[in-house]
Amino acid sequence: MKTIGKLAMILVVLTFFNEVYGQITGRITDNNSGEPLSGAVVMWGAQEGTTTNSEGLFRIEASASGLLTLTASYLGYESASKKVTFKSGKPLQVNFALEAKALVAEPVVITATRTENRLTDVPARINTLNPIQISNIPTSSSDELLAYIPGVQISRSFGVLSPKSTVSMRGLSGKEQSRTLVLFDGIPINKTDGGSVNWNLLNTDQIEQI
């Protein structure tokens, strides 16, 4: 008799919980293609929610009967809501087919606050070597004089005695002399076929200012 009493108690408890708790299941898909939307959010109440799996399926454990409002949302889609009547202990299925929408960002307004100026009138940093500085530099090569100007680098990829050195400003030439314009008395001396400069043709005694 004791054994029968215990079994009866267990059956009563299980029956009680089955009557209190129930499930709301469903699937969220794209309204046009029917493809499942993975990671879609389903909310009910103020702070309760769940997400769909890779197949667009969701499951809600509900404990109270009554009217529920389910809201499904997904990035790039219009949200949708449905009001359903749920009864404890009875499964309920609710599906959503969401409509895609275009993502429109807030407009960005750019307002100019400066006046237009000629490039030659815009202040720029200029570094120079005067005649006294040039005469005090122990070198006979004109390109090596440029190494004493801040931000100017000299590269001799063909050897120290080679006239084919590359002069770059702040490392922006990428070892291509054609990317740095060299003027002698206002006249470009870069070669037209590759932009290189034969620095040995420039006598340091003839250079007054760099």
User: Over the stretch 143-199, which tens digit does the pLDDT of each residue have?
Assistant: 777 777 777 777 766 655 555 677 776 666 556 666 677 777 777 767 777 667 777
SS3 content of the chain, % helix, strand, coil (to 5): 20, 30, 55
**3-class SS of residue 184:** strand
pLDDT at 27 over 90: yes
Predicted TM-score (pTM) of this structure: 0.43
Please name each of the domains of the chain with its CATH number: 2-98 (2.60.40.10), 127-206 (no CATH)
What's the pLDDT tens digit per position in 93-104? 999 999 998 877
Question: What does the pLDDT read at residue 60?
Answer: 86
- Percentage of the chain beyond pLDDT 90 is 19
Any idea which residue has 């129930």 for tokens? 22
Distances (CA, A) of 37 to 29, 56, 98, 168: 5, 5, 9, 55
> What pLDDT, on the 0 to 100 scale, is given for residue 97?
94
pLDDT in tens, 104-129: 777 887 766 666 667 666 666 777 77
- The tokens for 187 are 């006249």
Give the count of beta carbons closer than 10 Å to the beta carbon of residue 191: 12
> How would you class 23 by CB atoms within 10 Å of its CB: exposed for 0-12, middle for 13-18, buried for 19 or more?
middle
Is residue 29 left, alpha or beta, with left meaning phi > 0 and alpha meaning psi from -120 to 50?
A: beta
